[in-house]
Structure 1
Amino acid sequence: MRLPNSAHAALPWRIHEITPGFTVEDVWALPTPGGPDEFPRLVASMVSDAEEDSFPQGAPFVVRLLWEARWRIGALFGWDGKDAGLGSRVASLRDRLPGDLRAMPRGPDFPDVPFTSVYLLTDEWASEMANRTVHTVMHVGWVPDGAGGHRGQMAVLVKPNGRLGAAYLAVIKPFRSLLVTPALMRSIKRGWRASANGAARA
């Protein structure tokens, strides 16, 4: 379920300290109901490639087609080269971390999605990616659900690279909002359920 951007901005996340110049693109409530201490399980389930239907492999055909088209177009125009990403076109957010965050675990990286972890806390995880169009942060937090439990919450923050980046974000927004992110939500839900089943069998 999509949430207002204020659902991210109103909470005292540490990510606010290191993302000046970024804007919140959207915020989603994750279909991951759980207890107060289950955030590590959410993080582990999101980066797991054990399930055949994980994202993007398990997404609908049209989403996989869009995903593949994006990387082919990026290769054609040189959007994703080494000189366009973290450490070259833009500095990693890890370079901005205060000392206490730098001392915390960096967190896991995704096996099939080009995001690199920045930091991992007991209720907050941030990862980033950059190319010639945009610097993007995916922030995942663990929040009370208002009914005595907790759930995940994901925010996407962006910093477009000039006019190219602004145009790119405008073009992909309807596809991402209507197709890609809902498919990702379903994948996260499947992964969450699979991790619960695995914990029950252990």
Structure 2
Amino acid sequence: MRLPNAVHTSRSWRVHELTRDFTLEDVWALPTPGGRNDFTRLVQDFPRLMQGLASGDSSSVTSRATRLLFAVRRALGRVFRWDGSGSGVGSRVPTLRDRLPADLRDAPTGPDLGSFTSVYLLDDEWAVELANRTVHGVMHIGWVPDDAGGYRGEMAVYAKPNGLLGTGYMHAIAPFRRVIVYPAMMRQIERRWQAGVSGAVRPAPEDT
């Protein structure tokens, strides 16, 4: 479920200190119910939950529409060289780790996630970043109380477009991202989280 941006900005997440020149694009409630101490499990399990979505390899993505959009994005990236050498974190843009205050710099880095590089990991939040020739993006995963007396994940996505190209790109993909990609992502995460919790391994039906 998509949430108002204020749900995220009202919390005292450390990511706010690092992203003042970024735009908060989206906030989503993750369908990952758990207990107070389950954030570590979410972080460890996130590569499986996001398989194919964070890496750009859509072969394991269950949504056919999302696979098509990923294929189009890969094709455009090859034609316009959006993802080539010199376009990523540490090349076109400095890593956000350079902005970390001392206490975060000394905290665990956390795992990378596909094409995303981890910035920091705390007991209830994790930030990863990605860059190409269109945008410098940050995905923040937090662990928050839910309405049922438990906890769940919450995902926030920040972006810093690269000039007119990046601004135009972000505007162009916004409806596809919010109507197709993120809803399909939530369904995939929910199925895989439930399967992991139950210990069952079931083939997931394809989304349209």
TM over 0.5: yes
Contact residue 125 and residue 140 of structure 2 kept, 8 A: yes
Taking only the aligned residue pairs, the percentage that are identical comes to 57
Counterpart amino acid of residue 63 in structure 1 = T
Aligned residue in 2 for 1:165: 166
Q: TM-score, normalised by structure 1?
A: 0.91
Structure 2: how far apart are the matches of 1:191 and 1:135?
28
Q: TM-score, normalised by structure 2?
A: 0.88
1:46 corresponds to 2:49:
no
Aligned residue in 2 for 1:64: 67
- Per the TM alignment, residue 191 of structure 1 is displaced from its structure 2 partner at its CA by 2.4
Aligned residue in 2 for 1:182: 183
Consecutive aligned runs of 4 or more in structure 1 exceeding 6 Å deviation: none
Q: Secondary structure at the match of 1:167?
A: helix
1:87 corresponds to 2:108:
no
- Per the TM alignment, residue 54 of structure 1 is displaced from its structure 2 partner at its CA by 6.0
Q: Secondary structure at the match of 2:61?
A: coil
Counterpart amino acid of residue 138 in structure 1 = M
Contact residue 160 and residue 169 of structure 1 kept, 8 A: yes
- Per the TM alignment, residue 16 of structure 1 is displaced from its structure 2 partner at its CA by 0.6
1:78 corresponds to 2:74:
no
Cα gap change, 1:101 to 1:54, in 2 (>3 Å) = same
Q: Secondary structure at the match of 1:151?
A: strand
Counterpart amino acid of residue 197 in structure 1 = S
Counterpart amino acid of residue 26 in structure 1 = D
Aligned residue in 1 for 2:31: 31
CA RMSD of aligned residues (A): 1.8
Contact residue 101 and residue 119 of structure 1 kept, 8 A: yes
Cα gap change, 1:198 to 1:108, in 2 (>3 Å) = farther
Contact residue 113 and residue 128 of structure 2 kept, 8 A: no
Structure 1: how far apart are the matches of 2:119 and 2:174?
24
- Per the TM alignment, residue 108 of structure 1 is displaced from its structure 2 partner at its CA by 1.3
Structure 1: how far apart are the matches of 2:64 and 2:142?
29
- Per the TM alignment, residue 103 of structure 1 is displaced from its structure 2 partner at its CA by 1.3
Return 5+ residue gaps in structure 1 as ranges: none
Return 5+ residue gaps in structure 2 as ranges: 201-208
Name the count of aligned residue pairs: 195
Aligned residue in 1 for 2:205: none
